Amino acid sequence: MDFVIALLGATLRIFTPILLAALGETLIERAGILNLGIEGTMLLSAFSGFVVAQLSGSLWLGLSAALLTGILLCVFMGLLSVTLGLNQHVAGLGITLLASGLALFSFRILYGGSSTPPSLERSFAQLALFKGTALEPIFSQYGITYIALLLVPILGWLLMHTSFGLRLRSVGENPEAADIAGLNVYWVRYQALIVGGALMGLAGAYLSLAQLGAFTHGMVNGRGWVAIAIVIFGNWQPSKVFYGALLFGFLQALQLRLQAQGIPLPYEALLALPYIITIIILALAGRNASYPAALLKAYRREGA
Amino acid sequence: MLRLERGSAPLWLRALLPIAAVLITFLLVSLAIWAAGANPLDVFYEMLIKPLSKRTSRLEILVQATPLILTGVAVTYAFAAGYYNIGAEGQLYAGALMGALVGPKLTSVPAFFAIIVMLLAGFLGGVLWALIPALLKVRLKVDEVVTTLLLNSVIVFFISALLNGVWRDPISGWPRSPAIAESAQFPSIISRSRVHLGFILAVLALLSLWWVLKRTRFGLELRASGLGKEAARFMGVPVAKTMLTAALISGGIAGLAGVSEVAGVHYYLIDGLSPGYGYTGIIVATFGGLQALGVAIAGLFLALVDTGALSASRALGIPAYLGDIVQATLLIVTLAVLLLNRYRIVRSKPMRKAP
C-alpha cells in the first residue's frame, strides 16, 4: 500500500509540468498552430524564473518572469507563423533551438561552468491536503500542481462553452469562415498563443522554482515533445489530455520506483511507451484523426 | 512609388537574400555578445576568421561539416518533395545503431568490403526508421511532422537501453557499444587530420542531390509534389510514390550520417553521438535553399560556426552555446527573409481607387 501511495504522489509530481505544457499546446493547436517551440519555451521560462527569483529573492517575481517568458516566446511564434505566415514546424523548431541556446548561454555567463549548480535558498513549499489521512502523501504537492488540476475543467469549459472557446476553435477549424463571420483570425490566434504561452511558462516555473529549486542543463529533457504527443493522445480535449498526462506521469513514476528497488527492467521501454502509443493512436485514427482542420496552415486574407 | 507584388523575385535578389540573412543574424547575435560583456567584433573574428587561418582548424571544419552536409542533403530530399521530415536526428541514430551492430562482426573481412557493409547497414537503418512515418503518411494520411519528431525520442531511448543494458562495459562501466572492427573504420583521407571517408560520402550525397533534382524525371516529379500536391497529381505525377521514395532516400542519407560518425570519428556508439545534427540539418537545408550548392555552402558555414564557437569560447571565455544561438537565429531570419522571395518590388503609380 505504501508503494502505491508513494507511486501516486510521484505520479502527480511528474505529471504537473507535462499537463500544463500539454494544456497550453492544446489551446494553441485548437487555434490552428502547431507550436514546436514548446520544448525551448519551457527551458527558457524555467531559466528566467530561476534567475529572477535568485537575484530578487522573490519566488513570486520569478514566477512572473517565467510566465512572461512563456508568453513572449509564444507571441514571437505568432509573429512568425501568424503575422508572417511562415512554415509552422520550421519556425517552431527555430524557436526551440534559439530559446534553448539563449538559456544555456546566459546560464553559463551568469554562473560560469561550476560543477555545483547554484540553487535557490528557498523554493515553493508543498501544500498538504487531507492532513493526517492515508491520502496525505499523495496530496503533499506544490501549489502549481493544484492549479494545474483546477485548470483541466476550467479550460474544458472555456474551450467548449464560452464564446472565447468558440472563436478559438473556429479559427482553428475554418479560418475563412471565421473571417467572413467577422472574427479577426490573427488576433484570436494570438490570444490562444498568449494563454498557452503562460501555461508553458508555468510548466517551466514548476521545474525550476518548485520541483528542483535550481536550473540545470537537461531540465526539460523532452517534456515538451511528450506534451505534443499527449495533446494528440488526448484528442485535443483538456479532459483527455489530463488522462494522457496522468498515464505518462504514472509510467515514469513506476519506472523510477522499480529502478530504485533494483528491479532489472529496461526502464527506457516505459519512457518510450507514451510516444509509441501516440503513434499507434495516430495510425489507428488515420484519416479520421480529429486534427484541428487548419492546423499547420497559415491564414492569409485574400489580397493581403 | 515602390510596391511589393506577388511573383518570384529576380535572380540578383535571390542571390542576395542569404547574404542579407547572414548579416541580419550577426547583427542580432552581436546584441547577445554585447550583453555578455564582450566585443562582438573580437568574437566574430575568433569565430569566423581565425579558424580559417590554420590548417588544423580548417580541416576540423570539414570533419564537422560531414554530418551537417549529410543531414542537410537528407532533409532537402524530403522538404523539396513537400514531406516535412523532422526525424533526421532519429534516422541518423538508426544508421549509427546498425553500424554499431554490424561493425564489430567484420574483423575477418577486408577493409573494402567491411566499409561497403557499414555503408549499406547505415543506409538501411535510416531507411527502416523513416519507413514507419512515411508509410503512415502515404497510406493513412497521418501527418509526418509529429510522427517523425516522436520517433527521434523513441530510438534515443532504445539506444540508451542498449548502452545501459547489454552493452555496458562490465569492467569499466562505460555505456558504449563494442568497438567496430578495425577494417570497418573509415580511413583518413587527408594525412595528419581527422577528415575521414565520410566527407567524400557527403560530397557524393551533394552530387546525387544535384543530379536527381536537376537531371532526372524523378527529381522533377519530386519538386512538383513539393510545390503543390494537387497540381502535381493533375499533371500525372504519382505523388504518394514520389513522397515515399523521397522520405526513404532522406532517411537513408541521414542514416549514412550516423554510420559515418560511428565509423569515422568514434569507432563505437555512445550516448549523445549527435549533438542534434538532425535538427541542424533542417537549418542547413533551409538556409541552403533546398538545393545542392546551397546545402554545400550552408553545411560548411554552419560547421565553421560550430568550430569557431568552440575556439572563441577557449580564447575569450564566451560560452560555446553562442554557436547554437547563431544557427537558430540564422534559421529564423532565413525563413523571414525568404518571404521576400515571393514578392517583387515594383515601381508603380499610386493605385487608383476601384470604381
**Shortest CA gap B147–chain A (Å):** 6
Is A90 in contact with B331 (Cβ distance < 8 A)?
yes
Q: Measured between beta carbons, which residues in chain A are less than 8 angstroms from residue B40? A: none
Is A89 in contact with B84 (Cβ distance < 8 A)?
yes
Q: Which of B153, B158, B335 has its CB closest to that of A87?
A: B335
For the segment B322-326, the average pLDDT, to the nearest whole number, is: 96
**Is there a contact between A201 and A64 (Cβ–Cβ < 8 Å)?**
no
Is B324 in contact with A97 (Cβ distance < 8 A)?
yes
Query: Which is more confidently placed, B352 or B19?
Result: B19
Total structural domains within chain A: 1
Q: By residue range, what is the domain housing residue A185?
A: 13-111+143-288
Q: Is the pLDDT of residue B87 over 70?
A: yes
| Residues B32-83: tens digit of each pLDDT | 999 888 999 999 999 999 999 999 999 999 999 999 999 999 999 999 999 9
Is A101 in contact with B279 (Cβ distance < 8 A)?
no
Residue B270 DSSP SS3: strand
Q: What is the DSSP letter of B348?
A: -
| Residues B275-310: tens digit of each pLDDT | 999 999 999 999 999 999 999 999 999 999 999 999
Q: Measured between beta carbons, which residues in chain A are less than 8 angstroms from residue B152? A: 225
pLDDT band at B99 (very low <50, low <70, confident <90, very high): very high
Read off the CATH number of the domain in which A163 is found. 1.10.3470
Q: Measured between beta carbons, which residues in chain B are less than 8 angstroms from residue A267? A: 161
| Residues A277-296: tens digit of each pLDDT | 889 988 887 666 677 888 88
Q: What is the pLDDT of residue B1?
A: 53
Q: What is the pLDDT of residue A217?
A: 86
Interatomic CA distance for residues B332 and B337, integer angstroms: 9
**ipTM of the assembly?**
0.92
**Is there a contact between B117 and B259 (Cβ–Cβ < 8 Å)?**
no
**Backbone Cα Rg of chain A:** 19
- Chain A, chain B: beta-carbon pairs less than 8 Å apart: 127
Paired residues of B3 in beta bridges: B346
Question: What is the percentage of chain A residues whose pLDDT exceeds 90?
Answer: 65
Q: Is the pLDDT of residue A213 over 70?
A: yes
For the segment A90-108, the average pLDDT, to the nearest whole number, is: 95
For the segment A94-119, the average pLDDT, to the nearest whole number, is: 88
Q: Which one of A220, A273, A275, A288 makes the best mutation probe of the B interface by having the most chain B beta carbons within 10 Å?
A: A275
Retrieve residue B313's grid coordinates.
Answer: 569560447
Is B319 in contact with A283 (Cβ distance < 8 A)?
no
Tell whether A304 is covered by a domain: no
Is A104 in contact with B319 (Cβ distance < 8 A)?
yes
Nearest residue of B to residue A273, measured between CA atoms: B154
Q: Cell numbers 512563456 correspond to what residue?
A: A70
Q: Is the pLDDT of residue B199 over 80?
A: yes
Q: Which of B145, B282, B321 has its CB closest to that of A101?
A: B321
Question: What is the percentage of chain B residues whose pLDDT exceeds 70?
Answer: 94
Is A105 in contact with B149 (Cβ distance < 8 A)?
no
Q: What is the pLDDT of residue B190?
A: 92
For the segment B186-195, the average pLDDT, to the nearest whole number, is: 93
Q: Measured between beta carbons, which residues in chain B are less than 8 angstroms from residue A100? A: 324
Q: Is the pLDDT of residue B354 over 50?
A: no
pLDDT band at A242 (very low <50, low <70, confident <90, very high): very high
For the segment A65-93, the average pLDDT, to the nearest whole number, is: 95
Label the pairing between strands A140-142 and B343-347: unpaired
Task: Choose the weakest-confidence range: A18-32, A278-292, B122-136.
Answer: A278-292
Report chain B's mean pLDDT, rounded to a whole number: 91
Tell whether A5 is covered by a domain: no
Q: Measured between beta carbons, which residues in chain A are less than 8 angstroms from residue B332? A: 80, 91, 94-95, 98
Q: Is the pLDDT of residue B2 over 60?
A: no
Q: Is the pLDDT of residue B229 over 80?
A: yes
Label the pairing between strands B2-6 and A140-142: unpaired
Interatomic CA distance for residues A165 and A292, integer angstroms: 13
Q: Is B211 on the interface with A (CB under 8 A)?
A: no
Q: Is the pLDDT of residue A130 over 50?
A: yes
The values of phi and psi at residue A161, to 5°, are -125, 10
Q: What is the DSSP letter of B312?
A: H
**Is there a contact between B222 and B212 (Cβ–Cβ < 8 Å)?**
yes
CB atoms within 10 A of CB B41: 10
Tell whether A135 is covered by a domain: no
b/e per residue B190-205 (b: at least 16 CB within 10 A): eeeebbbbbbebbeeb
Paired residues of A142 in beta bridges: A126
Tell whether B30 is covered by a domain: no
**Shortest CA gap A79–chain B (Å):** 10
Retrieve residue B35's grid coordinates.
Answer: 550583453
Tell whether A302 is covered by a domain: no
pLDDT band at A201 (very low <50, low <70, confident <90, very high): very high
Q: What is the pLDDT of residue A304?
A: 45
Paired residues of B173 in beta bridges: none
Nearest residue of A to residue B141, measured between CA atoms: A287
Q: By residue range, what is the domain housing residue B290?
A: 37-343
Task: Choose the weakest-confidence range: A84-93, A290-299, B176-185.
Answer: A290-299
Is B84 in contact with A269 (Cβ distance < 8 A)?
no
Nearest residue of B to residue A92, measured between CA atoms: B332
Query: How many CA atoms does the CB half-sphere of A262 hold within 13 Å?
Result: 0
Question: In chain A, which residues touch B (CB < 8 A)?
Answer: 34, 36, 80, 84-87, 89-91, 93-95, 97-98, 100-102, 104-106, 108-109, 222, 225, 228-229, 232, 266-269, 271-272, 275-276, 278-279, 282-283, 286-287, 289, 291, 296
Tell whether A131 is covered by a domain: no
Paired residues of B6 in beta bridges: B343
Is B150 in contact with A87 (Cβ distance < 8 A)?
no
Q: Is the pLDDT of residue B152 over 80?
A: yes
Q: What is the pLDDT of residue B5?
A: 60
Q: Measured between beta carbons, which residues in chain B are less than 8 angstroms from residue A34? A: 145-146
Q: Is B31 on the interface with A (CB under 8 A)?
A: no
Total structural domains within chain B: 1
Q: Which of B141, B328, B336 has its CB closest to that of A97?
A: B328
Is A94 in contact with B331 (Cβ distance < 8 A)?
yes
Interatomic CA distance for residues B288 and B286, integer angstroms: 5
Q: What is the pLDDT of residue A96?
A: 97
Q: Is the pLDDT of residue B353 over 50?
A: no
Q: What letter represents residue B264's amino acid?
A: G
Residue B26 DSSP SS3: helix
pLDDT band at B132 (very low <50, low <70, confident <90, very high): very high
For the segment A67-75, the average pLDDT, to the nearest whole number, is: 98
Q: What is the pLDDT of residue B169?
A: 76
For the segment A224-240, the average pLDDT, to the nearest whole number, is: 93
Report chain A's mean pLDDT, rounded to a whole number: 90
**Is there a contact between B94 and B165 (Cβ–Cβ < 8 Å)?**
no
Residue A174 DSSP SS3: coil
Read off the CATH number of the domain in which B194 is found. 1.10.3470
Tell whether A185 is covered by a domain: yes
Tell whether A236 is covered by a domain: yes
Is A86 in contact with B339 (Cβ distance < 8 A)?
yes
Q: Measured between beta carbons, which residues in chain B are less than 8 angstroms from residue A98? A: 325, 328-329, 331-332
Q: What is the pLDDT of residue B174?
A: 84
pLDDT band at A265 (very low <50, low <70, confident <90, very high): confident
Cα end-to-end distance, chain B, whole Å: 21
Q: Is B282 on the interface with A (CB under 8 A)?
A: yes
Q: Which of B143, B150, B328 has its CB closest to that of A275?
A: B150
